[in-house]
Structure 1
Amino acid sequence: MTHLPAIQLYTVREAMAEDRASTLRQLADMGYGAIEVHRPTDDPAGLRALIEDLGLKVCAAHAGDAVGNPEPGPVFEAIASLGTDLAVVPGGRPKEDRSTRDGIERIADEVNRLLPYAQAAGLRLGYHNHDHELTRIDGQYALDRLLDQVDDEMFLEVDTYWAAAGGADVLELLGRYGDRVKVLHLKDGPGVRGPANVALGEGSLAVAEYVAAAPYAWRVVEFDKCETDIFDAVARSHDYLARLAS
């Protein structure tokens, strides 16, 4: 059974800042069944009340505020209070840390440091890639080197757009990582850094193939930036995913 389409709230961050309740209602009315939270410590109790009233679920939440934080426990407690069991480290490190041998070791140390805090809150800890982690170090992706150095319990949130922009064979990655991939970030566009994203199915990425390669992962729509009406693009992206599932 596949998951319902979800959306990363970073996509509609400006609208959320203006009117959180109205924004969430628009997303629910489009048919989104779940959200991924990018700022879980911003009134988690109030956010959970809103999403429950709308019949939404929280599929995962980003734990960026935990990175480098000497007291990360409250971040993970806030995530757990939202009703999800997946907490994601969204990069949060300089490019050189994500594309060099020494940098990857520093990230691995940080992920391993955070893991017991996440587990104490009843959460699984995952990692979100950008393009830098698909740099090759001694013939091996930096992301692979990271996985070699972290606890086997760490899952992956694979950002398919950034993986493609980094030069990776995304289908090969998804096939090799298998059920360690719990969340897919789905974006479309030209597949390179810089240009705005477009609605799913309207760019150059093989989104349908990515979804088929990870059938049990959450399918999370995300736009880093959009040059058209964001809600129209988000609605078209939802409809595209719904057609894939039909």
Structure 2
Amino acid sequence: MTFFKRFLSTLVCAGLLTACNGQLDTRDEDNQAVLRLERSQIPAISVQLWSVNHTLKKDFKGTLEAISAMGFDAVEFAGDFGPYDNDPQGLKRYLESLGLEVSGAHVKMRDLTDDKFEKTVAFYQQLGSPMIIVPSDKRAEQAETIESFVAELNKVTIKMRDKGMRFGFHNHDRELVPYKNNTYWDYIAANTPEDFVLQLDVGWAQYAGKNPVAYINRYPNRTITTHFKAKYPATVTNKKPLIGQDITDWSAVIYANVTRGGTQWLVLEQEEYPDGLTQLEAVQVSKKGLDNIITRLTN
């Protein structure tokens, strides 16, 4: 039995294909009377491959087959290319055979320095990635280095623009702490050009006690890609880090993405695996939870 068939069999036997039809955040349900979108307005749905990092290492192709079967439109890379490490065009063809696009890639700033920039960007161009996102950087979290770091981001933005690609930064909770009467994230947003992508991570915003909808609305047309992660402060009880079983008002987030954010990709990311779920099983449950929310929002 192939990895893919074993995976589907496991889901069916565990009842996980319908596991996310249980408790939902009441705010999400209440907003259904107000928030409505057309199905055609919903951005494409991708998955950050860090969500299945260990599974990818064991079975790269089988994992991507399973992701395709879940109904994802695309994947966002995080440095693992399996047997295609030196063959981006071959990887692109393989993804196309599964009906998958590339929504973007997380790339460290150390791979975008002047001596590595051309090689790095050429790889992602051949892969078909429309953008490169820096996943984190300690300099973005410290008063002594934030200004020089933003200057470097702006330099790379110009170079990426010349290559016909978008460039941006992804937050954790660490960039959402106070800085100059606001936050480090706000400083980055205010001091980068309008085409610089602010990849808001909804889960980390919730964890930091921030309203993700407010951040999408504050910087219109800049959350071109948004990380959909179910996460919340440790003080929250009776919830699970699975979309539809957490605290986030996902309908409000999607509505803001569509009406204010200019969002092209909803990128599901799973970093916690409750109830003994495997990485793929947890992604499947969150994907089904997101599908249910979208259905209610568009019906």
Q: TM-score, normalised by structure 1?
A: 0.89
How far does the alpha carbon of each residue in 1:101-124 deviate from its partner, in whole angstroms, 9 at most, with x for none?
A: 332212202212222332233201
- Segments of 5+ residues of structure 1 without an aligned counterpart are none
User: Counterparts of 2:106 and 2:53 in 1: how far apart (Å)?
Assistant: 14
Larger Rg: 2
| RMSD value, Cα | 2.4
User: Counterparts of 2:210 and 2:268 in 1: how far apart (Å)?
Assistant: 20
Residue number in structure 1 paired with 2:73: 33
Residue number in structure 1 paired with 2:249: 206
The residue identity in structure 1 corresponding to 2:111 is A
The within-5 A match list for 1:217-228 is: 217=263, 218-227=265-274, 228=277
Residue number in structure 2 paired with 1:11: 51
Check the 8 A contact 1:40/1:63 in 2, yes or no.
no
User: Counterparts of 1:117 and 1:182 in 2: how far apart (Å)?
Assistant: 19
How far does the alpha carbon of each residue in 1:68-87 deviate from its partner, in whole angstroms, 9 at most, with x for none?
A: 56422221221111212111
Residue number in structure 2 paired with 1:229: 278
Q: What SS does the corresponding residue of 1:49 show, helix, strand or coil?
A: helix
1:167 equivalenced with 2:214 (yes/no): no
Q: Which structure ranks higher in relative contact order (CA pairs < 8 Å, sequence separation ≥ 6)?
A: 2
Residue number in structure 2 paired with 1:46: 90
Percent identity (aligned): 24
User: Counterparts of 1:54 and 1:45 in 2: how far apart (Å)?
Assistant: 15
1:90 equivalenced with 2:130 (yes/no): no
Residue number in structure 2 paired with 1:154: 196
The residue identity in structure 2 corresponding to 1:223 is Q
How far does the alpha carbon of each residue in 1:126-164 deviate from its partner, in whole angstroms, 9 at most, with x for none?
A: 111111111111311111111222233211110011122
Shift of 1:67: 4.8
> Could you tell me which of 117, 124, 129 is aligned with 2:171?
129
Residue number in structure 1 paired with 2:122: 77
How far does the alpha carbon of each residue in 1:211-241 deviate from its partner, in whole angstroms, 9 at most, with x for none?
A: 2211252111102232422222211211222
Shift of 1:63: 1.9
- Segments of 5+ residues of structure 2 without an aligned counterpart are 1-40
Check the 8 A contact 1:170/1:210 in 2, yes or no.
yes
Q: Which runs of 4+ in 1 moved over 4 A?
A: none
User: Counterparts of 2:116 and 2:234 in 1: how far apart (Å)?
Assistant: 36
User: Counterparts of 1:147 and 1:40 in 2: how far apart (Å)?
Assistant: 29
How many residue pairs end up in the alignment?
242
Shift of 1:40: 6.9
User: CA 1:189–1:148 in 2, change beyond 3 Å: closer, same or farther?
Assistant: closer
Residue number in structure 2 paired with 1:114: 156
The residue identity in structure 1 corresponding to 2:56 is M
Check the 8 A contact 1:188/1:207 in 2, yes or no.
no
Q: What SS does the corresponding residue of 1:239 show, helix, strand or coil?
A: helix
Q: What SS does the corresponding residue of 2:227 show, helix, strand or coil?
A: strand
The within-5 A match list for 1:53-64 is: 53-64=97-108
User: CA 1:80–1:192 in 2, change beyond 3 Å: closer, same or farther?
Assistant: farther
